[in-house]
Homo-oligomer: A and B are copies of this chain.
Amino acid sequence: MCAYAADVDRCDCNSIHEDIVLDVRERLPDDDNLIDLADLFKVFGDSTRVRILSALLLAEMCVCDIAVLLGMTKSSISHQLRVLKQAKLVKYRKLGKVVYYSLADDHVRTIFDQGLLHITEE
């Protein structure tokens, strides 16, 4: 029988190592934090957004510049910039009709570097 049937009814198996499960359960971060973390990585998990961020690592650019650079429509770029804005990964400034986007802080660079490290290794 499942050791946690009372509070976890989806459980369909025995707890083989009850001591480990109890210990990990206690030390595991709150679900809220882990969900926020997943949501952040979800933003990085699209090649269009990664390409936009990579471009902004090199220079501040307007929507039109990015669209031309990546060979995509302004609309699709604008949609993705909205996602990046909501995740506080990019910031922008308006000059007349033109909106210039740039990275909000340096976290993008370090996260990218760690990711590339995992990919290029072995």
Instruction: Say how many copies of this protein the assembly contains.
Output: 2
B16 touches A34 (CB 8 A): no
* Given A24-B55, A64-B15: A40 in contact with B71 (beta carbons within 8 A): no
B67 touches A11 (CB 8 A): yes
Contact among B16, B67, B122 for A65, CB-based, below 8 A: B16
A114 touches B114 (CB 8 A): yes
B38 touches A46 (CB 8 A): yes
Q: Report if A3 contacts B (CB, 8 A).
A: yes
* Given A4-B71, A28-B58, A59-B20: A65 in contact with B118 (beta carbons within 8 A): no
Q: Report if A86 contacts B (CB, 8 A).
A: no
Main secondary structure, interface of A, reads helix
A45 touches B38 (CB 8 A): yes
Interfacial chain B residues near A28, Cβ < 8 Å: 51, 54-55, 58, 69
The residues of A with any CB-CB pair to B shorter than 8 Å are: 2-4, 7-17, 20-21, 23-25, 27-29, 31, 33-47, 49-51, 54-55, 58-59, 61-62, 64-65, 67-69, 71-74, 88, 98, 105, 107, 110-112, 114-119, 121-122
